[in-house]
Amino acid sequence: MSKRLGSAVVRNRIKRLLREAYRLQANAVTTDVDLVFIAREPLTELIETGGLEAVQEKMSEILRKASLVLPKGEQQKTS
C-alpha cells in the first residue's frame, strides 16, 4: 500500500476496513477466485465520510460489476 494514502496508522486502518468489509460479504462471493483490492486516495475520503458501511457498499458494487456475487439462493453458509 502506497505511502500516499497516509501514515502507517492510516494505511493499517484502511487494510482492516477492507478485510472487514470483505468478511461481512464473503459468503455471497463466488469461490475459487483470488481478489486484489488496490486502495487509491479516494478511499481515504470514503472512509472519513462513510466509514465501514460506505466501504462495504462500494465493495459490493465492485463485486457485482465483476459478476462475482452469487445469486441469493446459492450463497454459502458461514461456519
Residue 54 confidence (pLDDT): 94
Q: What is the largest CA-CA distance in the chain?
A: 42
Amino acid identity for residue 66 in this structure: A
Q: Residue 7, SS3?
A: coil
Q: How far apart are CA 28 and CA 21, in angstroms?
A: 12
User: Domain limits of the chain?
Assistant: 3-71
**Residue closest to 37 by CA, chosen among 16, 7, 10:** 16
State pLDDT tens for residues 24-78: 998 888 878 899 988 888 898 999 999 999 999 999 999 999 999 888 766 666 5
What's this model's pTM, rounded to 2 decimal places?
A: 0.79
